[in-house]
């Protein structure tokens, strides 16, 4: 069975609704959001309208420098998970991280 784009888009919207901010972590955040860099404010995520089950967002961390090993995703104050990403910035600048959620049919 092939799902219609409207179904994939509804699933994508439900998934992206779980993530409203992103964080940077100096060590493994584990399942709790631990090791969030206290010098860096969380960055808001604004998701695009889904198209064929795909939505994108960016998070801009303003005027930051440091070393991070993970990017975390939050739903309000609830940590939802992370993914490893080694980032180093020796000089303070804005850092933009891109995100994509893709909902696909199982084969």
Beta-bridge partner residues of 82: 72
Which pTM does this prediction carry? 0.90
Boundaries of every domain in the chain: 20-44+57-100
The alpha-helical segments, DSSP class H, found in the chain are: 5-16
Instruction: Give 45-88 pLDDT, tens digit per residue.
Output: 999 999 999 999 999 999 999 999 999 999 999 999 999 999 99
Q: How far apart are CA 32 and CA 73, in angstroms?
A: 11
What distances in angstroms separate CA 51 from CA 1, 12, 47, 103, one per listed residue? 19, 9, 11, 10
């Amino acid at each position: 069975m092939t799902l219609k784009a409207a179904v994939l888009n509804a699933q994508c919207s439900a998934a992206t609704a779980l993530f409203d901010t992103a964080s940077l972590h100096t060590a493994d955040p584990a399942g709790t959001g631990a090791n969030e860099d206290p010098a860096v404010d969380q960055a808001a995520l604004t998701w695009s309208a889904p198209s064929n089950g795909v939505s994108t967002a960016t998070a801009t961390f303003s005027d930051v420098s440091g070393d991070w090993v993970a990017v975390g995703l939050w739903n309000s104050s609830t940590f939802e998970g992370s993914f490893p990403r080694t980032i180093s910035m020796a000089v303070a600048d804005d850092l933009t991280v891109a995100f994509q959620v893709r909902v696909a049919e199982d084969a």
